[in-house]
Amino acid sequence: MSWLSAFLTANLIGIGSNFDNCGTGIAYGSEKIRFPHWVNAIINAIGFGTALLGAYMGEVISHYITVIQARWAACIVLVCIGLFFWYSKYLHPRISRQHEQIQIKSPGWKQGIVLGFALSFTNVAVGFGATVSEASTIWITSTSIAIWGYIMIWIGDVVGIGVLAKLLGNYSSFFAGLLLILVGVHQVIA
C-alpha cells in the first residue's frame, strides 16, 4: 500500500468512524452548550487510545468483549444522556416543587471522559479491523480517528449553536435528546 493510499484510507476511516461525534456536537450545540476545546481533546484522546488498543489488542479483547457488547454499551450511555436532556427540559419542571428546569452545563472533564468512552467503544473494533491487513497503518489510522473526532465534534457544535438552536427554539431539547438517542441506536444497528 502506497503512502498516499494509506493516508486516504486512514482519513476515510477517521471521518466514517466519527459521525456520532458530529451528532453529539450538534445535540449539545442545539441546546446552546459549547464544547470547550479541552473537553473535546479529552474525548478524542480517549478515542485515540481506544483505536490504538483495538489495533494492538483486538484479538485479545475480542475474547472478552464482542463488538456487539461494545456497541450496546455505547448505545446505553448515549441514550441515557439523551433521556436526561428530555427529563431536564420537560419532566423535571412538571414534577418538581420548584418548577425549574435543570440547567445542563457545558461539559467538564467528567463528562468528557464518559462521552469519550461512549463515543469510542467502537474505535476498538475500527482500529482492529482497519489495521488487520496492514500493520504499518496503526498509528496513522489511530491519529486520523482522533483528529477527525475532534473536528467532527467542533463542526457539530458550530452547526448546532449557529443554526439549529435558532431554528428549533423551544424544541431544541427534544431534538438534542432525540439526536443522542438516534446516535446511540446507530451504534447498535451500524
The CA distance from 122 to 58, in Å, is: 11
Residue listed under C-alpha cell 483495538: 54
List the alpha helices (DSSP H) in 88-164.
Answer: 92-95, 109-131, 138-159
The CA distance from 188 to 70, in Å, is: 9
Tens-digit pLDDT profile for residues 72-128:
877 887 788 888 878 877 887 778 776 565 566 777 888 888 888 877 766 666 666
What Cα–Cα distance (Å) separates residue 186 from each residue in 38, 87, 107, 151? 26, 22, 23, 20
Specify the pLDDT at position 180: 78
Q: Which of 31-35, 83-87, 141-145, 151-155 has the highest mean pLDDT?
A: 151-155
Compute the average pLDDT of residues 156-182: 80
Distance linking the first and last C-alpha atoms of the chain? 27
**pTM higher than 0.75, yes or no?**
no
Other CB atoms closer than 10 Å to residue 7's CB: what's the count? 14
As a whole-number percent, the residues of the chain with pLDDT over 90 amount to 8
Spatial neighbors of 18 by CB under 8 A, at least 6 apart, are 47, 145, 148, 149, 151, 152
The CA distance from 155 to 68, in Å, is: 28
Q: Is 84 helix (H, G, I), strand (E, B) or coil?
A: helix
At 129, the pLDDT band (50, 70, 90 cuts) reads low
The CA distance from 145 to 50, in Å, is: 10
| CA-CA-CA-CA torsion sign (61, 64, 67, 72) | negative
- The grid coordinates of residue 93 equal 419542571
Specify the pLDDT at position 133: 46
